[in-house]
């Protein structure tokens, strides 16, 4: 009997920190949602409590007066174009590196993989002038290209390991039936790798949607701002305008798509990220 009491004590002793950390994670996020429904007066009077009534004014103001509509649109474009371009570039290379024997294959793979560990901050200065030369500075498509290439090594890495798990026999029999290697890549390998493609694309999309620093460097005018930049701008201004409610509303715009993706693809995202970290 004594032992079970002791065990129960140990258990609740361990549950307490877990519970506290849950609170530490969820409360700020929960509170951010509440803040988005409060008036400024309420935020000052009672910053950490419930709003008296839920009103959507902050969302409307953020959307119409603070350019959140444009920046949500820009972020969507950058995310979609970046994710698609990254796939278009990564799938053929991943296939060639995984399946075709050629001289330098290992070297090329190592080159791509080591790029995952190099701090790109050094490259951002020349990239700034390169984009200026191409007339792609302050341009969301220029940013999308930069994003796509920045995730290229990781994407190639994930896709090669997924392609490694497909049996070769399917490709071989398709080739014997007279299918060209382009056909094999497009009609056999791509559908079979779909699970990996989905995983890596979700992760890239979240990355691009969230990204802040490259957007800060490569975008300049407010009509081209992505959501992260627009929010940062509102946050810096809030010190003077005190538009906290609007700030919270725009944070909600930024986080809701991520929450939705996470709740649908939770397993894929966690699996993809841990495997990326282990092998990267």
* Part of the chain binding other proteins (CB under 8 A), chosen from 59-67, 109-117, 158-166, 192-200: 109-117
**Distance in angstroms (rounded) separating the CA atoms of residues 187 and 205:** 24
Residue 118 interacting with other proteins (CB under 8 A): yes
* Part of the chain binding other proteins (CB under 8 A), chosen from 8-16, 65-73, 76-84, 187-195: 8-16
Burial of 12 (0-12, 13-18, 19+ CB in 10 A): exposed
**Interface with other proteins (CB under 8 A), residue from 51, 123, 188, 190:** 123
* Part of the chain binding other proteins (CB under 8 A), chosen from 52-60, 61-69, 142-150, 189-197: 142-150
Residue 28 interacting with other proteins (CB under 8 A): yes
**Interface with other proteins (CB under 8 A), residue from 50, 54, 73, 129:** 129
Build a one-symbol-per-residue string for 204-243: x at contacts with other proteins by CB under 8 A, - elsewhere.
Answer: --x--xxxxx--xx----------x--xx--x--------
Q: What is the 3-state secondary structure (H, E, C) of 135-154?
A: CCCCCHHHHHHHHHHHCHHH
Q: Which is nearer to other proteins, 63 or 147 (CB)?
A: 147
Q: Which is nearer to other proteins, 63 or 159 (CB)?
A: 159
**Interface with other proteins (CB under 8 A), residue from 9, 20, 25, 170:** 25
With beta carbons less than 8 A apart as the criterion, state whether 208 and 147 touch.
yes
**Interface with other proteins (CB under 8 A), residue from 1, 2, 3, 100:** 100
Question: Which long-range contacts link 134-137 to residues 24+ away (Cβ below 8 Å)?
Answer: 137/218, 137/220
With beta carbons less than 8 A apart as the criterion, state whether 166 and 189 touch.
yes
Which H or E run contains 23?
helix 2-36
**Distance in angstroms (rounded) separating the CA atoms of residues 260 and 66:** 24
Whole-number minimum distance, CB 164 to other proteins, in Å? 16
Build a one-symbol-per-residue string for 167-206: x at contacts with other proteins by CB under 8 A, - elsewhere.
Answer: ----xx--xx----xx--x--------------------x
Residue whose tokens read 């984009």: 131
Q: Quick one: DSSP state of residue 164?
A: T
Residue 277 interacting with other proteins (CB under 8 A): yes
Whole-number minimum distance, CB 24 to other proteins, in Å? 7
**Interface with other proteins (CB under 8 A), residue from 43, 72, 137, 200:** 43
**Distance in angstroms (rounded) separating the CA atoms of residues 71 and 233:** 12
**Distance in angstroms (rounded) separating the CA atoms of residues 90 and 170:** 21
Q: CA distances (Å), 278 to each of 76, 126, 157, 163, 197, in order? A: 30, 31, 12, 18, 19
Residue 124 interacting with other proteins (CB under 8 A): yes
Q: 135's torsion region: left (phi>0), alpha (psi -120 to 50) or beta?
A: left
* Part of the chain binding other proteins (CB under 8 A), chosen from 51-59, 60-68, 189-197, 247-255: 247-255
Sites for other proteins among residues 49-88 (CB under 8 A)? none
Tokens of 112: 């791509």
**Interface with other proteins (CB under 8 A), residue from 1, 18, 169, 191:** 18
């Amino acid at each position: 009997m004594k032992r079970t009491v002791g065990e129960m004590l140990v258990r609740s002793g361990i549950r307490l920190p877990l519970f506290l950390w849950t609170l530490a994670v969820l409360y700020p996020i929960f509170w951010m949602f509440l803040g988005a429904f409060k008036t400024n007066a309420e935020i000052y009077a009672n910053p950490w409590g419930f709003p008296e009534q839920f009103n959507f004014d902050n969302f409307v103001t953020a959307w119409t007066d603070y350019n959140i509509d444009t920046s949500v649109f820009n972020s969507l474009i950058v995310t979609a174009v970046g994710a698609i371009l990254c796939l278009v570039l990564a799938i053929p290379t991943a296939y060639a590196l995984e399946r075709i024997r050629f001289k330098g294959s290992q070297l090329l793979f190592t080159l791509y993989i080591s790029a995952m560990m190099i701090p790109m901050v050094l490259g951002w200065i020349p990239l700034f002038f390169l984009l200026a030369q191409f007339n792609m500075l302050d341009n969301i498509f220029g940013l999308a290209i930069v994003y796509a290439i920045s995730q290229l090594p990781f994407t190639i890495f994930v896709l090669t390991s997924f392609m490694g798990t497909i049996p070769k026999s399917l490709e071989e029999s398709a080739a014997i039936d007279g299918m060209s290697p382009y056909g094999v890549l497009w009609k056999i390998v791509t559908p079979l790798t779909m699970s990996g493609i989905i995983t890596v694309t979700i992760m890239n999309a979240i990355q691009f949607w969230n990204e802040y620093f490259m957007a800060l460097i490569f975008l300049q005018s407010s009509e081209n701002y992505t959501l992260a930049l627009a929010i940062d701008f509102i946050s810096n201004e809030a010190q003077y305008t005190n538009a906290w409610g609007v700030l919270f509303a725009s944070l909600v715009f930024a986080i809701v798509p991520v929450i939705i993706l996470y709740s649908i693809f939770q397993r894929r995202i966690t699996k993809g990220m841990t495997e990326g970290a282990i092998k990267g």
